[in-house]
A and B are shown apart, each in its own frame.
Chain A
């Protein structure tokens, strides 16, 4: 310790001595403000050209540069995102001169200081692939969670909302996703503390074979309005600092802080109302069309089919959906003194789903506070968020077979039957339309409107996310930071199917309460050393991090009630004997890390970053728990070189970047390394008819389980043309993932036939580009454009043992589709490769005819009606060839407008909904089907067979958002800054895809992509909002 102190002291002495200069100098003082808002701009680089003198502005935009040689100088202020501006000054010897800069905003994507994980960096010093989005620029329309802010705004980030359901999870892939069965989710870090990214709500009950809804989005509990900015770390040189969790990229979310200026207090209120309706319909037969079809086909359907027709003309799709409202209220206030500043916010958000009886409500509060003490050398920080999210689920499904949920029944429920019977109760098959009273019996096919309204499935969850940190500036160049973080969620799920409903009737009423509790504790200790040597800067961060996860759950169910009155509130009133036994579980895991990063900046021209992280995970096998993740990257700002001073070819800024690094993925469930024995019903055996508890080997342990690692190389060019009117970057990367965590068959005999192993490898390559262009600029009138382009390709390079030729994935859903797969993971092909028979035509007998090889048993002249395995081939690829995002921002006096287009070109989507329901044979079972089937020559008896017929192009162009705003003149508002806006989401979709929407994600097996089965109807949305600042 003593040695360290003397080194620090001598360093300080050295630096102090270099700072003391001769007397022939003066100083420059001034302020840099935003030309539009006249607000001071912090962190602007102000440089005296031709010298090494320079500084960054303070938070209020002011700056002082001392020790400038007397005489005339050109002073240049630059902040990325703004056009650089130079001012001529004459510095008096021993005096000071004032310079004021008005910077004009140019770009919405870049900011000068970027959060890079365990610290910040100036944009120009970043050597890796890092993108940022400002919350204020992206927060338009109804934004339920923060990931929507990134969509279409950052290259190399693909975000697919899992469904149109409020709060539904989304699939986020940064640079294509590099894992097959381990998680492809990025790591979320909020205010420096990693978020536990697991489903917080307990799973669905599964009554009536309703499959669990997809996991909720982990960011639902965060109020998008609290977000200052989002940083996305894409390449390994940027993410390696997060080591074992960085393989899928890192999303850093910084929340808004209190104004630093001191004494200024601000208050802001924002509100909006939104209305949403389904953007498209599937196109089902109406009652009249269905009756006509049945009557025309009585020869096939049987004469009695006509007698089974009802009198009504019901559009079940219309009956089940609605115009859904959303309301949002935000109140935020901030302020403080020189020592203390804070920002607090409250949020109420209520979003209805476009499907009946479904929605999400959020109540949330946040407090961010900071206090400086000990002569400003100690900074104490507190970020605290507490939220209550009430999820109201509808029993909808994304996969499924025989019995369905809402959407299956919406499609198949006979349109000649009414929603309600004469007595006002819901119609169910088995009850006559005219019956004055009838209790529905258990049914395979249920009235979907009744299901939505009778079944109750709510999941309230409370999340506490907080961290406390203390930063100590030991010297000007040495500081330490200690952080404690906690992420705690307690969620319950209460499901009730009344005995009076067709679903509940089978159980005599069904009630379930399930609980899930997640706790994540995080401790970080950082030491930062940041000396300056003239124009050379060094920053070294060293740290230790400890994370512990604990998950617990409990689930109790009851059935056989005498009344519907109790709901979920009196489980003991059911007949326990027939109810499933209560279940509970607990898992825990921990992650320990040591890491270090050094950033070196030489003359503001050359930048070098090195990262070393050593992670240990309890989830992996002893002997393989620890691994080292290194990274190295460098950049060269050519535009700082003398030969670029004249800006050849209009190049106003230019930097080359290259980076290399290794990242890990340990996202497997805990305890995979051990053979575990569990006592559960699957292992019990009824000797003598009395059930004996059984112990079941629940998994085969893998004592060799280790990290999945990705090695990534990144090349980038940052450019600026025409005085930075055009800025952007182009990047190329290659990412090789090896030791993929993959669930594969194990050699027999084994107690369980599969386990997680490190098998195979994957390669992702891509080009990403973005550009921000100032198209037009005049006082109070501007037009800017941003372009985002992504092209990436992934390829499976190995599946381990050569005897493993492929892995089937992409389960096909629907009746008659058991054990049918639509995709294969194969060496040489991308993940998301569709594999199946090639459809040729429908023959005169109404049978589907497919291409075949002569090896196939039924093959005649290259055609068969019964394709065998030999006839299957690659029939599509779910990945787009490239994606494009175009956004514009315009201001015209007090008006502003922005719009965002997104396009994806190439790639396929499998219309599983059409495969199963574009089938006239449904009428044989008294069920409805898609109208498109009427145009097809298939016989009524022809079964649905998966083939290339159902794989469609997913190319689309979407007008994602249009927002028009009006800044109310302050003369009308007593000086309060007030903005009104109107916003529309998902307004236009150009595509040839026949289903709802080609942008679809359904979890159907290992790493499957692009399968559309009865997704929640996507919505079109209009929002009217206002924001007032006091």
Chain B
């Protein structure tokens, strides 16, 4: 019996242990996890191609800034743009009118959908830049290349922070890659940080990239951001006391090298005198499908028109369903402007051509189109009831005009313009005016205005400059900052009378609230006052 057992045990050992050892020998308790289809920061960035890909990834974050990000909110919260509810289209929990009517709260539809989204998208840009800066600093790149790449990434990160402080004021200021809870810093420390980063970086940036690298940041881009930072210094450098009703001047704000107005002029001049840029004689060519060759472009989001969806979608937001065909159906018939904004454009102003009004045509066939019920599609300026608008109400944007039959909705090749040369002249004019130099201001003002509407000369004034910026930049994401700087953000009226309550006392609305979602993820964050 015992002998038998031993024999059996011997055989059993062979039968059982052989396969066991096979399995156990290698893997008994090993739980190491090795990704096969992704890189980690430790395994990536070993070659120039990988480093360029990492930098491209930081730029790619700019696309989120445009579509219902910072850029969209800049217009949508003002008289430049509105998304009326059109029957069952575009109600969307009331999020669009929540923004336009400025009724947002930390939990409201517009905040949770878009303000919170911007918070995350802009910080994602910061985090991606921080990661790449860390990688480049540790890399073995040649010093000159290292310096220029770091300057590029720091400028890009500064732009993300510029937008964050414009929306929220002081935010967590982080330049390392560690993920943890950070508290907010004061708004002026963000301002000082931006100024320093831009001043430090611009010297290492090229004046111009070769055509194949068009879109990467240049010295001109750093100067343009700096000029914009300085002209807004009366808002951006203040931890409190921004006036909701009076002009917030750059004059009297001390920055590196003197007064902020002087800084704005110097930065604008650096762009104007660089010899790289010139005004486009055909204004609409700044925005058309081939605007990559526009001499006015200083800083743009570069778009491509293939099927991968990394093009623009401005026409999709605003055009009617029946005006364009894409692989994903027609446009969405949403974004329009207010009658009073359209009426601000003189008939003689060539910039009025950015609007679509009256009987509409197909961008494919050129034939007249109807609405979905079969009635001829005629865009009208008046939106009688923004809570129950018709398909045809509201004048539409055609600034970034579409190409016909794009493969997908987001395949419009027109680059989205953050900064154009025209703005440098208008910043310069505004800063000169703030310094009291009206004559010089008029000269700079005329360089822009007279190019488009020479028949109706305008005497320069703050209001004239604010209006000129609307005419020049409507749809380009400048309006909210401009109105805040000019003390008009809470008091603009809508002739079409769908404004809400009088908000002039609600100065806290100059900053967006932090969403309940952001606050929930980081107990160190404090809410902006008033919310």
A-B contacts, 24 of them at CB < 8 A, read A9-B2, A474-B5, A588-B36, A676-B40, A677-B39, A681-B308, A684-B308, A688-B213, A688-B214, A694-B54, A695-B39, A695-B44, A697-B127, A745-B120, A749-B130, A803-B520, A818-B95, A819-B112, A857-B500, A868-B94, A869-B108, A921-B87, A926-B372, A945-B91
Interface size on A, residues (CB 8 A): 131
Which of B105, B308, B326 lies in contact with A870, CB distance below 8 A?
Answer: B105
Query: Within the assembled complex, what's the spacing in Å between the Cα atoms of A559 and B462?
Result: 55
A546 / chain B contacts, CB cutoff of 8 Å:
23-24, 27-28
Instruction: Say whether B273 faces chain A, with CB atoms less than 8 Å apart.
Output: no
B15 / chain A contacts, CB cutoff of 8 Å:
470, 472, 482
Residues of chain B touching chain A, judged by Cβ–Cβ distance below 8 Å, are 2, 5-6, 8-9, 11-12, 15-16, 19-20, 23-24, 27-33, 35-41, 44, 49-50, 52-54, 56-57, 59-60, 85, 87-95, 97, 103, 105, 107-109, 112-113, 119-121, 123-124, 126-128, 130-131, 172, 174, 179-182, 210-216, 292, 302-304, 306-310, 321, 325-330, 332, 370-376, 385, 387-388, 390-391, 407, 413, 500-501, 516-524
Contacts known (A693-B53, A695-B57); A747 close to B87, Cβ less than 8 A = no
Contacts known (A442-B327, A748-B127); A472 close to B93, Cβ less than 8 A = no
Which of B8, B29, B413 lies in contact with A472, CB distance below 8 A?
Answer: B8
CB distance from B526 to the nearest CB of A (A): 11
From DSSP, what is the main secondary structure of chain A's interface residues? loop
- Of A588, A686, A690, A804, most buried by chain B (CB within 10 Å of CB) is A686
Query: Within the assembled complex, what's the spacing in Å between the Cα atoms of A965 and B522?
Result: 64
Q: Is the CB of B520 within 8 A of A926?
A: no
Query: Within the assembled complex, what's the spacing in Å between the Cα atoms of A444 and B321?
Result: 9
Q: Is the CB of B388 within 8 A of A747?
A: no
Q: Is the CB of A816 within 8 A of B91?
A: yes
Instruction: Say whether A650 faces chain B, with CB atoms less than 8 Å apart.
Output: no
Q: Is the CB of A618 within 8 A of B130?
A: no
Interface string of A905-927 (1 = CB under 8 A from B): 00000000000100101111111
A814 / chain B contacts, CB cutoff of 8 Å:
88
Instruction: Say whether A642 faces chain B, with CB atoms less than 8 Å apart.
Output: no
A585 / chain B contacts, CB cutoff of 8 Å:
37
Instruction: Say whether A721 faces chain B, with CB atoms less than 8 Å apart.
Output: no
A688 / chain B contacts, CB cutoff of 8 Å:
210-215, 292, 302
Q: Is the CB of B374 within 8 A of A307?
A: yes
CB distance from B30 to the nearest CB of A (A): 8
CB distance from B159 to the nearest CB of A (A): 14
Instruction: Say whether A750 faces chain B, with CB atoms less than 8 Å apart.
Output: yes
Q: Which residue of chain A lies nearest to B308 when distances are taken between CB atoms in the complex?
A: A681
Query: Within the assembled complex, what's the spacing in Å between the Cα atoms of A819 and B110?
Result: 9
B9 / chain A contacts, CB cutoff of 8 Å:
5, 474
Interface string of A158-187 (1 = CB under 8 A from B): 000000000000000000000000000000
Query: Within the assembled complex, what's the spacing in Å between the Cα atoms of A246 and B154?
Result: 49
Q: Is the CB of A803 within 8 A of B329?
A: no
Q: Is the CB of A866 within 8 A of B128?
A: no
Instruction: Say whether A293 faces chain B, with CB atoms less than 8 Å apart.
Output: no
CB distance from B414 to the nearest CB of A (A): 11
Interface string of A214-255 (1 = CB under 8 A from B): 000000000000000000000000000000000000000000
Instruction: Say whether A148 faces chain B, with CB atoms less than 8 Å apart.
Output: no
Contacts known (A472-B12, A820-B92, A921-B87); A305 close to B57, Cβ less than 8 A = no
Contacts known (A584-B37, A618-B32); A819 close to B95, Cβ less than 8 A = yes
Query: Within the assembled complex, what's the spacing in Å between the Cα atoms of A746 and B178?
Result: 12
Q: Which residue of chain A lies nearest to B212 when distances are taken between CB atoms in the complex?
A: A688
Segment at the interface with B among A46-54, A935-943, A997-1005: A935-943
Q: Is the CB of A751 within 8 A of B387?
A: no
Contacts known (A470-B16, A525-B20); A689 close to B292, Cβ less than 8 A = yes
Q: Is the CB of A919 within 8 A of B88?
A: yes
Which of B23, B33, B91, B180 lies in contact with A619, CB distance below 8 A?
Answer: B33
Q: Is the CB of B54 within 8 A of A695?
A: yes
Which of B32, B39, B130 lies in contact with A678, CB distance below 8 A?
Answer: B39
Instruction: Say whether A895 faces chain B, with CB atoms less than 8 Å apart.
Output: no
Which of A617, A683, A690 lies in contact with B53, CB distance below 8 A?
Answer: A683
Q: Is the CB of B131 within 8 A of A697?
A: yes
Query: Within the assembled complex, what's the spacing in Å between the Cα atoms of A803 and B524?
Result: 10
A444 / chain B contacts, CB cutoff of 8 Å:
321, 329-330
CB distance from A526 to the nearest CB of B (A): 11
Instruction: Say whether A301 faces chain B, with CB atoms less than 8 Å apart.
Output: yes
B87 / chain A contacts, CB cutoff of 8 Å:
816, 921, 924-925, 940-941, 943
B210 / chain A contacts, CB cutoff of 8 Å:
688
CB distance from A521 to the nearest CB of B (A): 9
Instruction: Say whether A696 faces chain B, with CB atoms less than 8 Å apart.
Output: yes
A916 / chain B contacts, CB cutoff of 8 Å:
88
Which of B23, B182, B385 lies in contact with A747, CB distance below 8 A?
Answer: B182
A374 / chain B contacts, CB cutoff of 8 Å:
8, 11
Contacts known (A442-B329, A472-B12); A686 close to B128, Cβ less than 8 A = no
Q: Which residue of chain A lies nearest to B35 when distances are taken between CB atoms in the complex?
A: A671
A118 / chain B contacts, CB cutoff of 8 Å:
none
Query: Within the assembled complex, what's the spacing in Å between the Cα atoms of A12 and B12?
Result: 20
Q: Is the CB of A748 within 8 A of B375?
A: no
Instruction: Say whether A267 faces chain B, with CB atoms less than 8 Å apart.
Output: no
10 A-B pairs with least C-beta separation: A804-B520, A748-B123, A308-B374, A941-B388, A753-B120, A745-B521, A694-B56, A686-B304, A747-B522, A921-B87
Q: Is the CB of B53 within 8 A of A694?
A: yes
B-contacting residues, A355-401, CB 8 Å: 374, 377-378
Query: Within the assembled complex, what's the spacing in Å between the Cα atoms of A403 and B388?
Result: 22
Q: Is the CB of B50 within 8 A of A695?
A: yes
CB distance from B103 to the nearest CB of A (A): 5
Q: Is the CB of B521 within 8 A of A674?
A: no
Segment at the interface with B among A82-90, A341-349, A573-581: A573-581
CB distance from B371 to the nearest CB of A (A): 8
Instruction: Say whether A92 faces chain B, with CB atoms less than 8 Å apart.
Output: no
Query: Within the assembled complex, what's the spacing in Å between the Cα atoms of A308 and B19?
Result: 74
Q: Is the CB of A678 within 8 A of B93?
A: no
Instruction: Say whether A692 faces chain B, with CB atoms less than 8 Å apart.
Output: yes
Instruction: Say whether A663 faces chain B, with CB atoms less than 8 Å apart.
Output: no
Contacts known (A302-B373, A682-B60); A749 close to B41, Cβ less than 8 A = no
Q: Which residue of chain B lies nearest to A670 when distances are taken between CB atoms in the complex?
A: B33
Q: Is the CB of A625 within 8 A of B60?
A: no
B92 / chain A contacts, CB cutoff of 8 Å:
816-820
Instruction: Say whether A480 faces chain B, with CB atoms less than 8 Å apart.
Output: yes
Not counting A674-B33, A695-B50, a sample of 15 additional A-B residue pairs whose C-beta atoms are within 8 angstroms of each other reads A374-B8, A475-B5, A618-B32, A676-B40, A683-B53, A687-B212, A697-B128, A748-B123, A752-B124, A753-B120, A801-B523, A803-B519, A816-B85, A818-B95, A916-B88
Q: Is the CB of B56 within 8 A of A748?
A: no
Instruction: Say whether A996 faces chain B, with CB atoms less than 8 Å apart.
Output: no
Instruction: Say whether A589 faces chain B, with CB atoms less than 8 Å apart.
Output: yes
Instruction: Say whether A1026 faces chain B, with CB atoms less than 8 Å apart.
Output: no
Which of A305, A377, A580, A691 lies in contact with B304, CB distance below 8 A?
Answer: A691
B-contacting residues, A607-666, CB 8 Å: 616-619, 622, 625
Instruction: Say whether A209 faces chain B, with CB atoms less than 8 Å apart.
Output: yes
Q: Is the CB of A868 within 8 A of B108?
A: yes
B2 / chain A contacts, CB cutoff of 8 Å:
9
Q: Is the CB of A674 within 8 A of B40?
A: yes
B292 / chain A contacts, CB cutoff of 8 Å:
688-689
A443 / chain B contacts, CB cutoff of 8 Å:
329
Query: Within the assembled complex, what's the spacing in Å between the Cα atoms of A616 and B28?
Result: 11
Instruction: Say whether A685 faces chain B, with CB atoms less than 8 Å apart.
Output: yes
Query: Within the assembled complex, what's the spacing in Å between the Cα atoms of A696 and B54?
Result: 7
Query: Within the assembled complex, what's the spacing in Å between the Cα atoms of A304 and B378?
Result: 13
- Of A581, A857, A919, A939, most buried by chain B (CB within 10 Å of CB) is A857
Contacts known (A377-B8, A484-B19, A857-B501); A687 close to B108, Cβ less than 8 A = no
Q: Is the CB of A746 within 8 A of B407?
A: no
B326 / chain A contacts, CB cutoff of 8 Å:
442, 506
B32 / chain A contacts, CB cutoff of 8 Å:
618
Q: Which residue of chain B lies nearest to A12 when distances are taken between CB atoms in the complex?
A: B1
B303 / chain A contacts, CB cutoff of 8 Å:
686
